[in-house]
Structure 1
Amino acid sequence: MSNVLITGGAGFIGSNLAHDLVEKGNKVTIVDDLSMGRLENLVDIQDKIIFIEHDVCDHEFMHELLLKNNFDYIYYLAAVASVADSVERPVPTHKINQESVLDTLEFIRANELKIKRFVFSSSAAVYGNLKASPKKEDMPVQPLTPYAVDKYASERFTLDYNYLYGVPTVAVRFFNVYGPMQNPESPYSGVLSIITDKLQKNETFTLYGDGSQTRDFVYVGDVVAALQLVAEKTPISTVYNIADGGETSLNDVIHTYEEVAHRKLDINYLPKRNGDIDKSLADVTKIKTLGFKPKWTLKDGLKEYWDYEEKRSESHGQHE
């Protein structure tokens, strides 16, 4: 049994990770200010975790938490995960997406805390619009927004704290993660949670561009497995892409989802937005050396996601 801290653990990926860790008998503490996460994501495990509603930018609070708890693993998922928000508010988002990460790493180093691994969650956004495909971890990067710049800088700090000070760290770059417990009301939502929401409500989905843009969609169950794999098995402090390694156009995703949901999505096509990325595909060779194997096909993942959301809306309907 490990003692685990998840920052941002009421969010989409964090809550899925928490469920899996609890199921495996680990002790899990979650810190989340609920600005993007939702308590209902943790309702099934609320008696089995320690949940603290707090801001990770409160350094004193974080220091005390780290000193008291002897965590084995720290999964740092707390972030303002919105590119648009970072463009709008570069300084406040920087405090969360970079300063809080550096402060935590520095506290671990200065106090010689004996952790097994600090796992930082970065993003495929660091690659920007580089033409080369698939994206490999050792390629040049091209962060085009404050969000991507902060993620890249935090990623480098994470690895440097190993190279310079021996803190055991690893960083991951998420591609397009989808699945249960994603918040469609959030402006930071992935495209699939918005499509799910529109299909359920029979509302119109706005598609920017012609739908030929491709993404590497990866089911959250595979991401949860990958996170634990890099935490426990990486031989060195490095960065890994977490993705499926497959490329699907938005049009194909929509067709597959319509099949799964037995519904037709009403689409309003608008011109492509400035800064939107045309093609996103990951090279997952590196994480596969640790034994990572995506288990979820797009169709299976979408079915699982749709069934979860349908159950959720039914239970909400009963409560109303």
Structure 2
Amino acid sequence: MHTKPGVKILITGGAGFIGSNLCDHFLGKGYKVVCLDNFATGFMKNIEHNLSNPDFTLIEGDIRNIDDCRKAVEGADYVLHEAALGSVPRSIKDPITSNDVNVGGFLNMLTASRDGGVKRFIYAASSSTYGDSEALPKVEDKIGRPLSPYAITKYVNELYADVFSRTYGMETIGLRYFNVFGRRQHPEGAYAAVIPKFVMQFMKHESPVINGDGNFSRDFTYVDNVVLMNELAMTTDNTEALNTVYNTAYGDRTTLRELIGYLKDYLSEYDTAIKNVEVIYGPQRAGDIPHSLASIEKAKRLLNYNPEFSIQRGLKEAVSWYRENLKQPD
């Protein structure tokens, strides 16, 4: 993979969990990085170590404001669009704001990128797009009906990107993220992701609550696999690889019961009492699909994707990071 000093990348949502990991990675490779974030779900602490780097620029702005988008894309060669309001439950509670950010904001960014002459637009799509399709593994060209407002917004992103590719000749690539986890994923709040939330509860000797019987399964994907996919999508010279979407996952599934077992094992190496913390099983959650497993064959074939982090390896890294960082107040 080729590094191009002087090449500028705009990362929207760059102060968020995935976005800040992308900022670190590409700055480390010698790229110039612009971070656009409104800090609705991102945190200054995720990027403050980069503020003194002359290759890093922070723009505090909102993708719902087209002027902010135009300012952010100035001189950018590539856009990695991570900014979104995640969470199925959040979208069920407040579909209008999810739509404003995830659809309106996405269209603003596409339009600003088109007008700004951006070379390629890579965006965070979602495994939620598979909806009620029961086929396993999930293959990119076979989707079902969306099961939540969030899933609708992410599918609309794919449709818009496809139309912009066909109509304006833009290069776009969508990455359907599957249950990403890892360093900097926030463990608190109503919409916290399951892994950091469980880790924090175990560290406090609190019982985590599993929605359902624990047999639902997910293709949990460590954040470094996602960073790799973004880099491959950005740097590929394969024209056949453009203007399409890819599953971004490890290609293996883990039940919530298995996940709890791994977390207990890895955390109890530091605190043996965690082995005895009970788990509570609660009601199933609205909009949840039972099983999720990605086929990563398309990404392997067209982008030479070879993910390094299994769930076990990723969880060990994540647990180590949380132990160091959850002790500190926000």
Residue 265 of structure 2 corresponds to: 259
2: CA distance, partners of 1:37 / 1:162: 29
Quote how far apart the aligned CAs of 1:229 are. 0.5
Question: Structure 1 residue 19 and structure 2 residue 19: aligned?
Answer: no
Q: CA deviation at 1:227?
A: 0.9
In 2, Cα distance between the equivalents of 1:140 and 1:92?
25
- Whether 2:293 is the aligned partner of 1:281: answer yes
Give the length in aligned residue pairs: 313
Alignment match, 1:272: 284
Q: Deviations over 1:150-187 (max 9, x none)?
A: 11011111122111210111111100111000011133
Paired residue for 1:38, among 34, 37, 43?
A: 43
C-alpha contact (below 8 Å) 1:18/1:28 kept by paired residues: yes
2:317 equivalent to 1:304: yes
Partner of 1:55: 62
Task: Name the stretch that deviates more: 265-274 or 33-42.
Answer: 265-274
TM-score of the superposition, structure 1-length normalised? 0.94
Alignment match, 1:65:
72
Distance between the aligned counterparts of 2:28 and 2:124, measured in 1?
22
- State, as a whole percentage, how many aligned pairs show the same letter: 34
Asked whether 1:8 is paired with 2:20, we answer: no
Residue 11 of structure 2: SS of its match in structure 1? strand
| Unaligned ranges ≥5, structure 2 | 269-273
Matched, 1:146 2:149: yes
Q: Distance in 2 between matches of 1:172 and 1:158?
A: 12
CA distance in 2, matches of 1:230, 1:141: 25
8 Å Cα contact 2:12/2:80 also seen in 1:
yes
Task: Report the Cα offset of residue 189 of structure 1.
Answer: 2.5
Instruction: Give CA deviations for 1:106-148 in whole Å, capped at 9, x if unaligned.
Output: 2333x3x332210111110111131111111000332111111
8 Å Cα contact 2:63/2:109 also seen in 1 = no
Please state if 1:130 is matched with 2:136: no
Does 2:223 align with 1:220? Answer: yes
Partners of 1:45 and 1:22 lie apart in 2 by: 9
Letter in 2 for 1:16: N
Tell me if structure 2 keeps the 8 A contact 1:36–1:186. no
Residue in structure 1 matched with residue 171 of structure 2 by the alignment: 168
- Bigger mean CA offset, 280-289 vs 231-240: 231-240
Whether the 8 Å CA contact 1:209–1:271 is kept in 2: the answer is yes
RMSD of the alignment, in Å?
1.6
Matched, 1:88 2:100: no
Distance 2:51 2:189 in 1: 23
Q: Compute the TM-score of the two structures, normalised by the length of structure 2.
A: 0.91
Q: Does 1:104 align with 2:109?
A: yes
The one-letter code sitting in structure 2 at the alignment partner of 1:306 is V
Distance 2:51 2:260 in 1: 34
Matched position secondary structure for 1:187: coil
| Separation (CA, whole Å) in 1 of partners of 2:72 and 2:59 | 10
**Residues 40-67 of structure 1: CA distance to partner in whole angstroms, max 9, x if unpaired?**
111332222211222111112222332x
Q: Distance in 1 between matches of 2:326 and 2:243?
A: 42
CA distance in 2, matches of 1:91, 1:258: 38
Question: Which letter maps to 1:79?
Answer: A
CA distance in 2, matches of 1:190, 1:5: 25
Match of 2:81 among 76, 91, 116: 76
2:117 is equivalent to residue 119 of structure 1: no
Aligned to 2:308: 295
Mapped contact 1:257–1:299 kept (Cα < 8 A): no
Deviation at 1:275, TM superposition (A): 2.4
